[in-house]
Amino acid sequence: MMSEKKIPYGKQVIDERDIAAVCDVLRSDWLTTGPAVEEFERALSRYVGAEHGVAVSSGTAALHCAMHAVNIRKGDEVIVPTMTFAATANSIVFQGGIPVFADVIPDTFLVDPECVKKLITPKTKAIVAVDYAGQPCDYEALRSIADLNNLVLLADSCHALGAKYQDKYLGSLADITVFSFHPVKPITTGEGGMAVTDNDEYAKRMRLFRNHGISTDFREREKQGSWYYEMIDLGVNYRISDIQCALGISQLKKISFFLQRREYLASLYNDLLAGLQSVMPLAVRNDIRHAWHLYVVKVSDADFRQILFNELRSVGIGVNVHYMPVHLHPYYLKNHATKKGLCPVAEKEYQHILSLPIWPGMDEENVCTVIKALKELTAGPKKEKF
């Protein structure tokens, strides 16, 4: 059953147009803080329907910029789903805030709005929606909760560029929305991220923060013929290069194709999994367009999940697990007094999940190879059924 070529769980798709775009920048006068950064910001914010885009060095950097922009400070509580990558919660801690972990809906792993309501206290300042695997959260419910309690609504849409909720692109629904351009994400800049917003003040604060809190960047000072600048806020260096943004501009032109391929591959998985009684995909809401960053299945038996993981990896099929609930990581257990039992749904379901390979460069043969291996491993009456 050994496959001739390894099938990674995710991978970038780069073509000659991407390479040419990067080479053009390498031959130009500007490798960073140049015109490609602004062009990428305009193109992506226009695509998602936001007024401002602030491009930075990673999705994590974009999350941190967002927390700074909404003025998260020491002691502020921010509600965040535990089923996410650690960076979502870490960005709160970077600002001195306190992540308050919310449980998730068992069939989608999206944050449970009813759980969010119960966690609100006088110290709560913001709610973070996480569009797990590329599926949008219930933004109508979350916006209602945020507005009723005078809270900021932030969106970690690092999985979900191009996804829609009720026919609206993610990026136009929260006060600030964050995207990632890591190689396995919907488009890539190698490393990189962007925060988009309609709020002028938030955009201004994020632009300052990514550049040491300095009022102008080098290109602006060159235009003015001046050396003078002022540091008016405490910031960091989260700048992204023109090299990366040139790749992002080129990749964004192909996002419709990338999304269509992911949708097709997900539908193929759905069809081929229909006969398996011990493995099933997560549910999909009927009012959304899924970006399919991940294709996650649930395995009926928790112990068998580990067997599947090991066996599939041994034959070159790059399955993965996304994610261990953040509140169970040693750092949070030690430093934030989290404990087992805090988010029982996420803790239970995490033991059953497995991410199958999905990326636009996959073909039907790759999917069939994955499903064939799964069927061979799950065959027999000894496997528990849903």
- CATH number, residue 175: 3.40.640.10
**Residue 384 confidence (pLDDT):** 66
**Residue 132 confidence (pLDDT):** 98
pTM: 0.95
Which domain, by its residues, includes 328? 255-378
Q: At what angle do helices 242-252 and 35-48 cross, to 10 degrees?
A: 30
| CA pair distance 148, 48, nearest whole angstrom | 26
Domain endpoint, select from 252, 277, 301: 252
Query: Do 245 and 279 fall into the same domain?
Result: no
| 50 falls within a domain | yes
Query: Do 294 and 308 fall into the same domain?
Result: yes
| 180 falls within a domain | yes
| 122 falls within a domain | yes
How many CB atoms are located within 10 Å of the residue 286 CB? 5
Query: Do 306 and 351 fall into the same domain?
Result: yes
| 337 falls within a domain | yes
**Residue 228 confidence (pLDDT):** 83
**Residue 225 confidence (pLDDT):** 75
Q: With contact defined as beta carbons under 8 Å apart, do 367 and 269 qualify?
A: yes
| 215 falls within a domain | yes
Q: Which of 222, 185, 192, 177 shows the shortest CA–CA distance to 22?
A: 192
DSSP for 325-361 reads -GGGSHHHHHHS---TTSSHHHHHHHTTEEEEP--TT
Catalytic residue among 185, 348, 372, 383: 185
CATH number of residue 364's parent domain: 3.90.1150.10
| 1 falls within a domain | no
Query: Do 212 and 300 fall into the same domain?
Result: no
Query: Do 102 and 244 fall into the same domain?
Result: yes
| 9 falls within a domain | no
Indicate the number of domains in the chain.
2
Query: Do 151 and 212 fall into the same domain?
Result: yes
For the chain, what percentages of helix, strand and coil (3-state, to nearest 5) are there?
Answer: 40, 15, 40
Query: Do 168 and 315 fall into the same domain?
Result: no
Query: Do 245 and 307 fall into the same domain?
Result: no
Query: Do 231 and 328 fall into the same domain?
Result: no
Domain endpoint, select from 252, 285, 310: 252
| CA pair distance 277, 301, nearest whole angstrom | 11
Query: Do 76 and 183 fall into the same domain?
Result: yes
Query: Do 195 and 296 fall into the same domain?
Result: no
Domain endpoint, select from 198, 227, 252: 252
| 117 falls within a domain | yes
Instruction: Encode the chain (386 residues) as per-residue pLDDT tens digits.
Output: 444 579 999 999 999 999 999 999 999 999 999 999 999 999 999 999 999 999 999 999 999 999 999 999 999 999 999 999 999 999 999 999 999 999 999 999 999 999 999 999 999 999 999 999 999 999 999 999 999 999 999 999 999 999 999 999 999 999 999 999 999 999 999 999 999 999 999 999 999 999 999 987 767 767 677 778 889 999 999 999 999 999 999 999 999 999 999 999 999 999 999 988 899 999 999 999 999 999 999 999 999 999 999 999 999 999 999 999 999 999 999 999 999 999 999 999 999 999 999 999 999 999 999 999 999 999 865 566 66
Type of residue found at 167: D
**Residue 386 confidence (pLDDT):** 63
Query: Do 310 and 334 fall into the same domain?
Result: yes
Q: Tell me if residue 185 is catalytic.
A: yes
**Residue 1 confidence (pLDDT):** 43
